[in-house]
Every structure is written in structure tokens, then in C-alpha cells.
């Protein structure tokens, strides 16, 4: 994975790293750089768009590798990176990133799938029995599972998701056997930390993160096969308009994590009560600027609006998992 960084220009790598830290921390770093370097990195930051999780992880891993090879202070690079990220992002935000950077390098077996590119995982499992695919996707993080499911043949998707919803845990012995199968596919062996995978909540989480058109197609096919299961899955799905049920403190926490541009796009397709919920938790001037910008930009493509809403929902779920906000209504079941 480190070799891939050779194809990413230095300023872009720096831009991805700084934007991963956040505005205040990035500003502190830029203070110690020369004017020309700041200009290069600034231009790279401005040009960044749709940075994939794989690319961001590559940059982080490269940073860790450089620290390991260059540190001469007698301080372990892993400990240093952990302290820097926690100091910059806080314990909650940094924990997942730390795990992906520091623990993922030694992951094997099923756990290693979380570190593979989405398309590679899809290619690895597409010829396996649907039950095997269901267990693998249930083991992955919901966003990665959604991406893998979208890459599988359409005829498989509803079957796999139904199997995920019907999973009620899996015996450790069966997980070990599956881990060994995955191990033989590439290499290594893993320590399985859990035997409780799958279930209706997991299926709902995965569907929530899929493209709306694909999501509706899968739900329709599940409904044809098992109407009750389809209803139960939909009851646990948290949609953008459900954010109207989140309390003001939660909306304010969400606003701190979401860009104005993304919010404006997302609100173009929202109910009036949801728009009001967000604007009343902003300063009067910020709310006016947001509404003016939305009006000035005119109509937007449905796909762009849905993509923005999915992005905000992903942030909301992350904040809910860390305890920063509580998702009301149906969404409480997803926490």
C-alpha cells in the first residue's frame, strides 16, 4: 500500500493529512511552514474532492512509516502518532482512525478484509455461497459493506441482505472456519474478537449507506420474498428527514462537523421542518447566508442531493456511536 503513495504528489499527501486533522490543527501546522510550501499545500487542499477512504488510509500509513524510519528521539512512532491524533481530534474521533492506521497493518484473516480496497473484497467473495458473503459483509463496517454489496451482481444483493438480516450471531468455531477460508485466499490468520455479527440492524445500516436507487430495488425484492422482514428493516432505517427529531444540542454538534456547502445541497431535498431545525440552530446571519446560497445556486440534481444527505447521515451515525448525539425515532434502534 505504501508504494501507491509514490503516485500521490507530496502536496496532495500533505493536504489529505492536514484536512484529516481539522481546521485548527491544520492551521497550527501551516504556521511552521514557509510561504511557498503553504501556497503549494493550500492549492492542493483547495483542489481536493471526493478523497476515498483507501487513499486517505494510504497517506496516513505512509506518514506512520516515515515516522518509524526517521524518529531518533527514543519515542515509539506508534505512541507518538496516537498522542498526536488524540490531541488533535479527541479520543472519540481519533479512536477509529488510530485502529485503522496502527492495528490494520498486522490484521489478517477476516479482519484484513477491512483494509482491502472495496473492489478487491467484492472480487474475493462474489463466487462464494451467499451465506458466506452475508457473514463477511456483516463483519465489515457498514459503509464498506454497502460499497461491496453495490459491486456484487444485482441478482445476489437482496438475497445477501436478507441473510444478513436473519443472522442471529454465529458460533466462534464457524467464524474461525470462515477466517481460515479467507486466510487461504490471500495470507495470514486473525484473532476474531466477536461472534455476534449480522441482524436486522446491520442490514438497515448497510442499506442506509447505499445509493437510493439501489436501496429501493433491494427493499422491493426483499418485500417480494418476505414482506415482514422488509418492513422490519425499513423501520430501523434512519433517513435524512428523521434528523428533524434530533434535539437542538445534537443538531448543533452535527453542524460543527458538516460543511455549509454539503448542508445546503442536502437541505434542497428536505422537509420544511428539517430545514427549520437546522437554520434555527445557526446564527441569524449564518442561516441567512445559507438560504441565500441555496437560492442562488438554483435547482440541483437528485443524485447530488441524495449524496449530500448520505454524507450527513454518515456523520450523524458516527456522532451517535460516540455518544455525542442521540438519533431520535427509528434511528435510536441503530445506536
Q: Tell me, what's the pLDDT at 96?
A: 56
Contact between 46 and 15 under an 8 Å Cβ cutoff? The reply is no
Q: Tell me, what's the pLDDT at 215?
A: 83
Q: What's the average model confidence in pLDDT over 257-262?
A: 89
User: What are the two backbone dihedrals, phi and then psi, of residue 31, each rounded to the nearest 5 degrees?
Assistant: -60, -25
Q: Tell me, what's the pLDDT at 73?
A: 45
Higher pLDDT, 136 or 32: 136
- Evaluated on CA atoms 274, 236, 206, 254, the torsion sign reads positive
Grid cell 506508534 — which residue?
A: 78
Q: Tell me, what's the pLDDT at 281?
A: 93
What is the pLDDT confidence band of residue 323, given thresholds at 50, 70 and 90? confident
Higher pLDDT, 306 or 67: 306
Domain 110-236, CATH: 1.10.220.30
Contact between 218 and 210 under an 8 Å Cβ cutoff? The reply is yes
Residue 46 has pLDDT above 80, yes or no: no
Contact between 251 and 281 under an 8 Å Cβ cutoff? The reply is yes
Highest mean pLDDT: which range of 72-86, 170-184, 238-252: 238-252
Q: Tell me, what's the pLDDT at 193?
A: 41
Q: Taking Cα atoms as reference points, which of 213, 329, 315 lies closest to residue 266?
A: 315
Q: What is the distance between the alpha carbons of residues 1 and 5, in angstroms, rounded to a whole number?
A: 8
Grid cell 499527501 — which residue?
A: 13
Q: What's the average model confidence in pLDDT over 315-319?
A: 82
What is the pLDDT confidence band of residue 263, given thresholds at 50, 70 and 90? very high
Q: Tell me, what's the pLDDT at 71?
A: 47
Domains 110-236 and 240-334 equal at CATH topology level: yes
Highest mean pLDDT: which range of 12-16, 21-25, 260-264: 260-264
Higher pLDDT, 165 or 66: 165
Residue 332 has pLDDT above 80, yes or no: no
Q: What's the average model confidence in pLDDT over 295-313?
A: 86
What is the pLDDT confidence band of residue 106, given thresholds at 50, 70 and 90? very low
Residue 297 has pLDDT above 80, yes or no: yes
How high is the mean pLDDT of the chain? 75
For the ranges 19-33, 86-100, 110-124, 215-229, the lowest mean pLDDT is seen at 86-100
The conformation of residue 246, written as its DSSP 8-state character, comes to: S
Q: What's the average model confidence in pLDDT over 27-53?
A: 71
What are the extents of the domains in the chain? 2-106, 110-236, 240-334
**Separation of first and last alpha carbons in the chain:** 33
What string of DSSP letters covers 214-239? HHHHHHHHHHHH-HHHHHHHHHH---
Q: What is the distance between the alpha carbons of residues 164 and 201, in angstroms, rounded to a whole number?
A: 9
Q: What's the average model confidence in pLDDT over 88-105?
A: 56
Assign domain 240-334 to a CATH class: mainly alpha
Q: What is the distance between the alpha carbons of residues 203 and 210, in angstroms, rounded to a whole number?
A: 11
Percent of the chain surpassing pLDDT 90: 8
Q: Tell me, what's the pLDDT at 86?
A: 66
Q: Tell me, what's the pLDDT at 233?
A: 85
C-alpha cell at 129: 455461497
Amino acid at each position: 500500500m505504501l508504494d501507491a503513495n509514490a503516485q500521490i504528489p507530496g502536496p496532495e499527501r500533505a493536504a489529505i493529512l492536514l484536512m484529516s486533522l481539522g481546521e485548527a490543527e491544520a492551521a497550527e501546522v501551516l504556521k511552521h511552514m514557509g510561504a511557498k510550501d503553504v501556497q503549494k499545500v493550500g492549492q492542493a487542499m483547495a483542489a481536493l474532492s471526493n478523497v476515498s477512504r483507501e487513499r486517505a488510509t494510504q497517506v496516513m500509513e505512509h506518514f506512520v512509516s516515515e515516522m518509524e524510519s526517521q524518529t531518533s528521539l527514543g519515542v515509539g512512532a506508534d505512541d507518538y502518532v496516537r498522542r498526536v491524533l488524540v490531541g488533535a481530534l479527541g479520543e472519540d474521533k481519533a479512536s477509529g482512525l488510530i485502529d485503522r492506521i496502527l492495528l490494520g497493518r498486522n490484521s489478517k484473516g477476516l479482519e484484513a478484509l477491512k483494509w482491502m480496497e472495496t473492489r478487491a473484497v467484492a472480487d474475493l467473495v462474489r463466487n462464494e455461497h451467499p451465506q458466506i458473503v452475508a457473514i463477511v459483509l456483516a463483519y465489515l463496517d457498514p459503509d464498506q459493506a454497502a460499497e461491496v454489496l453495490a459491486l456484487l451482481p444485482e441478482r445476489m444483493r437482496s438475497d445477501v441482505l436478507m441473510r444478513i438480516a436473519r443472522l442471529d450471531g454465529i458460533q466462534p468455531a464457524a467464524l474461525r472456519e470462515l477466517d481460515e477460508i479467507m486466510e487461504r485466499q490471500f495470507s495470514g490468520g486473525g484473532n476474531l474478537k466477536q461472534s455476534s455479527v449480522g441482524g436486522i440492524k446491520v442490514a438497515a445500516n448497510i442499506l442506509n449507506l447505499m445509493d437510493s436507487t439501489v436501496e429501493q430495488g433491494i427493499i422491493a425484492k426483499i418485500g417480494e420474498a418476505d414482506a415482514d422482514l422488509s418492513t422490519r428493516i425499513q423501520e430501523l432505517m434512519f433517513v435524512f428527514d428523521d434528523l428533524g427529531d434530533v434535539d437542538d444540542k445534537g443538531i448543533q454538534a452535527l453542524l460543527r462537523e458538516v460543511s455549509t456547502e454539503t448542508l445546503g445541497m442536502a437541505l434542497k431535498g428536505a422537509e420544511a421542518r428539517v430545514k427549520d431545525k437546522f437554520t434555527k440552530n445557526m446564527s441569524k446571519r449564518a442561516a441567512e447566508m445559507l438560504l441565500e446560497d441555496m437560492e442562488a445556486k438554483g435547482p440541483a440534481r437528485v443524485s447530488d442531493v441524495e449524496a449530500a444527505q448520505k454524507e450527513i447521515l454518515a456523520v450523524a451515525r458516527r456522532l451517535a456511536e460516540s455518544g455525542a448525539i442521540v438519533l431520535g425515532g427509528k434511528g435510536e434502534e441503530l445506536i
